[in-house]
């Protein structure tokens, strides 16, 4: 009889642990967005971005949130490309500045492609490849910044936003690699570095 009681106690304990784990894994949508964004470097931007997809955001899991953030980042990169092309065609610009803009345009084109590659990697559950592509996109943004003088022109301002969007995606991808971090209350309100 004592064995049955012990076995029953162990089964009850396992059921409670599994129930808790299942509940934690089922956090989705707005609640997950709030939880994820407490770990992001820019909380308000994070919430705005992750809530921006009316069809996916309400029931999003971590992978959905990563894809949402990457699509917003890719759209931002596309806008930067449009601005760079427009600026390059300005005949009044110094040739050195035009060359810098052309270099920036090429690296942002690379960043946009790398963001699309990141989405593809996530869709096949290759989170480590996604992290590599994201880091490559950030390196491309750095190269663009280095090729244009100043920090107050339209491309520099958009570059800052693009970097923030990529950092949100990096934070989410890091959580995909280590989902248990979302359940650690000591990490809340502290930006995570991955």
Ordered structural domains, the chain, with CATH: 28-187 (1.20.140.40)
Lowest mean pLDDT among 96-100, 124-128, 161-165: 96-100
Q: How many CA atoms lie within 13 A of 146 on its CB side?
A: 7
Alpha carbon distance 149, 85 (integer Å): 16
At residue 164, does pLDDT exceed 60? yes
Dump pLDDT digits (tens) for 117-128: 999 999 999 988
Alpha carbon distance 76, 17 (integer Å): 43
């Amino acid at each position: 009889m004592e064995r049955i009681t012990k076995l029953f106690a162990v089964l009850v304990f396992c059921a409670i642990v599994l129930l808790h784990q299942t509940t934690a894994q089922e956090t989705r949508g707005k609640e997950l967005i709030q939880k994820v964004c407490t770990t992001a470097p820019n909380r308000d931007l994070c919430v705005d971005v992750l809530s921006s997809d009316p069809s996916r955001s309400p029931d999003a899991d971590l992978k959905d949130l990563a894809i949402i953030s990457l699509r917003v980042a890719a759209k931002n990169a596309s806008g930067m490309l449009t601005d760079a092309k427009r600026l390059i065609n300005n005949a009044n610009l110094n040739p050195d500045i035009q060359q810098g803009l052309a270099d920036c345009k090429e690296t942002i084109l690379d960043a946009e492609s790398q963001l699309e590659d990141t989405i593809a990697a996530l869709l096949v559950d290759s989170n480590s490849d996604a992290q590599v592509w994201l880091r490559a996109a950030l390196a491309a943004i750095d190269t663009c910044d280095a090729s244009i003088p100043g920090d107050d022109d339209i491309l520099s301002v958009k570059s800052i936003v693009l970097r923030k969007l990529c950092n949100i995606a990096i934070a989410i991808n890091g959580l995909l690699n280590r989902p248990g971090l979302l359940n650690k209350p000591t990490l809340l309100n502290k930006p995570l570095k991955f």
